[in-house]
Structure 1
Amino acid sequence: MAFKRCLSASPLSSSEHINNDTTVRTQLKKSSNSGICRVCGDVARIINYGALSCQSCKTFFRRNGLRPQNVRPCSFNTHCEINMQTRHTCATCRLAKCFMMGMSPDLIRKEDLKIRKGSSSKSSNVEQVIPKQITTTSQLPTLDLLQDDRSHLTNSEWTLLSNIVYAYDIYSTDRQMRLAIDNLSIYPVAMHINMINPLEIVRKICISIRSFIISSPDFQILTLNEKTSLIERNLHGIIGFSEISFFRNTGILYNSSCLKAFTTVYGSDMMLTAKKLHERLDPDSTLIKLILIILAFSSNCLVLNINKSMEDDHLLYGTFRLFGSQNVYVELLWKYMIYQYGYNESVLRFSRLIQIFLCILQNLSTIYTSNKTYRQMTDCTIEEAKQLLAINVNEQILLWGKI
């Protein structure tokens, strides 16, 4: 893998380029009193391997600095922004920023050499103190299958994962909305209220997530009645989860004009809850996209039974039709998490994702029953989706495929 030390997303002027270790160390010592990690912005106290860095970035560089060719390539053309929230998402861009900030693999080798010398001297002293006749009782090795589980995804699974991420990004409105929010600053504040339409924004979220689900081959192999049932059962819950992710990705809750506009529709309590939930949401966007496709093929992620006829729908007695898709996507999620975070961290992250989703469903049921405007908008979106399915039943849909 061709490795670049400088991120194209953060170009340096000629006077700022890191040319030698002496210059780097001088600059870093001057900035060491800032207490901010030069890589991700977390709290930092000392210089590690040539740069002021936090414990997380120190550990990351120690693991990868000597073998940059083994780091998985960036999926976004080395344009990832590295901060406290995104530092675990792209190893390539994080390592590139470590190098750019002056971290050196040579310092890892020197540290390893000191450790080896220290351990060898300690072992020699121990041998002189302990009598040779004293022996220790050997223990049988125990199996720790969970800790040793470092499953790697197959090529077809990596392809499926990239297809899911790509399909989501194709239909997502996050980037366009983020740009629109940033451009609000060029207009007078008095005009903002007329430029922000919360219901239209939510409607676009609904359409994008609907298109994402429909483009799946697993969805297309279902019958029309099964497709309609799946949309009716799950789209409400998926929309709620997507909204929290949307709030996080666009920063909409930190723009005073946008927050005020959404508060008029949802109420202050609901927006406060949404802000708390989005702050707890996992920063790894790939996990969010995988969770969404899993929820799309769940048996039911609807809190409220808003349609009595759903009790006789085609999936109530035939949920086995969904098991194959569920198994594929859940296994893909778990393998990705094990690959990225290891077993213990994966369990914690997965548990938090489930907990947050249950909180979202609880709040979704509240706003659905109490907010007539929101209820009408989401119901209309789902009805529109069902009508499109019926109209386009024979239309060829552009699929993203499994292989």
Structure 2
Amino acid sequence: MLYFLQSIENNRQLRESDWCHLSNIVAAYDTHCLKTYISQRSTVLADETALCQHQSMPLKHFTALPMSLSASLCAFFRALPAFHSLSKINQNYLWQNNLRSLLFPNIIEIGQSCFSEPWQISRDNATWALICGPQLYEQFAYTKQLAERSLIADPIITRLWMVVLFFSTSLFCLYDSYQFIKIPKKKTAIIDIQNIYATLLWKYLSNRHGYDGAVRIYSKLINVYLRMQRVGFEIGVQVRTRSELLVTYETLNQILTLDIRDR
């Protein structure tokens, strides 16, 4: 019995290799995701800095904001060696099924990691309000506030959580008929990678916050993400079905379809 308890405790401890892995994930997000997002945001907003935040929203911002979030996530996950260890079929499967479902968590992490001027925040909020529509935007804003209030501002936790979610056999509950998605017959490699990252997240939480704290934080991560997924699905419906958002829809599909194929 004593040996069993000691074994559990040893498995909970973070080794030097674990800390190195965590550091690499945080650095990859800073180097690839944040830099990509900031660069694209600067380009899009370069000609808007003189505009008052109360003026009408440029139509191109409909596409630019989701595109920047998607491109930054692509850059982050593409920087992970585990992603390149997968077959092309599995890579494309994750790309086309899971990227959209992680845009909302990326909004939260970018908001915590990247400084924005008040007028930029107002601009982004106005964009989401127009994309969502009045009723859905209320849910979007509530979920965003819930995430900001409930989740610990720890970049290791939020970024590693996104990695755990990305390596899922599918976060998407509805396959898009717009494009053909080849579903891999064998997903063991994806599950194995997710298990590694999920274990690493649990070890980090247990090490920093103890067992009870780890359970509490993990539960909040799951609860908040399920709310995000529901709102994100409804946003996807808006983007697919509204004619004024057709360009946004087609552009996102091109990013998710061509990003791997062209590399």
Q: How would you bin the TM-score normalised by the shorter chain?
A: 0.7 to 0.9
> 282, 302, 313: which is aligned to 2:172?
302
Correspondence for 1:331: 199
Q: What letter matches 2:215 in structure 1?
A: V
SS at match of 1:342: helix
Instruction: State how many pairs are aligned.
Output: 244
Shift of 1:243: 2.7
Deviations 1:57-109 (A, max 9, x none): xxxxxxxxxxxxxxxxxxxxxxxxxxxxxxxxxxxxxxxxxxxxxxxxxxxxx
Does the alignment pair 1:275 with 2:141? yes
> 149, 154, 157: which is aligned to 2:18?
157
TM-score (structure 1 length as normaliser): 0.53
TM-score (structure 2 length as normaliser): 0.77
Task: Tell me, in whole angstroms, the C-alpha distance in 1 between the residues paired with 2:52 and 2:255.
Answer: 36
Shift of 1:154: 0.7
Shift of 1:188: 4.0
**Unaligned ranges ≥5, structure 1:** 1-141, 393-403
Correspondence for 2:70: 206
Q: What letter matches 2:161 in structure 1?
A: I
Correspondence for 2:154: 284
Contact persistence 1:298–1:322 (CA under 8 A): yes
SS at match of 2:173: coil
Task: Tell me, in whole angstroms, the C-alpha distance in 1 between the residues paired with 2:164 and 2:209.
Answer: 20
Contact persistence 1:236–1:378 (CA under 8 A): no
Which has the larger share of helix? Answer: 2
Q: What letter matches 1:298 in structure 2?
A: S
Does the alignment pair 1:384 with 2:255? yes
Question: More displaced, 225-234 or 333-342?
Answer: 225-234
> 370, 382, 387: which is aligned to 2:238?
370
Task: Tell me, in whole angstroms, the C-alpha distance in 1 between the residues paired with 2:169 and 2:119.
Answer: 32
Shift of 1:224: 1.8
The aligned runs of 1:89-108 (5 Å cut-off) are none
Task: Tell me, in whole angstroms, the C-alpha distance in 2 between the residues paired with 1:190 and 1:374.
Answer: 22
Q: What letter matches 2:138 in structure 1?
A: L
Structure-2 change in CA distance of 1:382 and 1:289 (3 Å): farther
Structure with higher RCO (Cα < 8 A, 6+ apart): 2
Deviations 1:146-178 (A, max 9, x none): 9x958321111101100000001112348848x
Correspondence for 1:321: 189
The aligned runs of 1:96-135 (5 Å cut-off) are none
Q: What letter matches 2:211 in structure 1?
A: Y
Structure-2 change in CA distance of 1:202 and 1:263 (3 Å): same
SS at match of 1:302: coil
Q: What letter matches 2:164 in structure 1?
A: I
Structure-2 change in CA distance of 1:290 and 1:253 (3 Å): farther
Shift of 1:229: 1.4
Structure-2 change in CA distance of 1:253 and 1:359 (3 Å): farther
Structure possessing the higher radius of gyration over alpha carbons = 1
Structure-2 change in CA distance of 1:346 and 1:375 (3 Å): farther
Shift of 1:284: 2.1
Q: What percentage of residue pairs aligned between the two structures are identical?
A: 19
Q: What letter matches 1:352 in structure 2?
A: K
Does the alignment pair 1:217 with 2:85? no
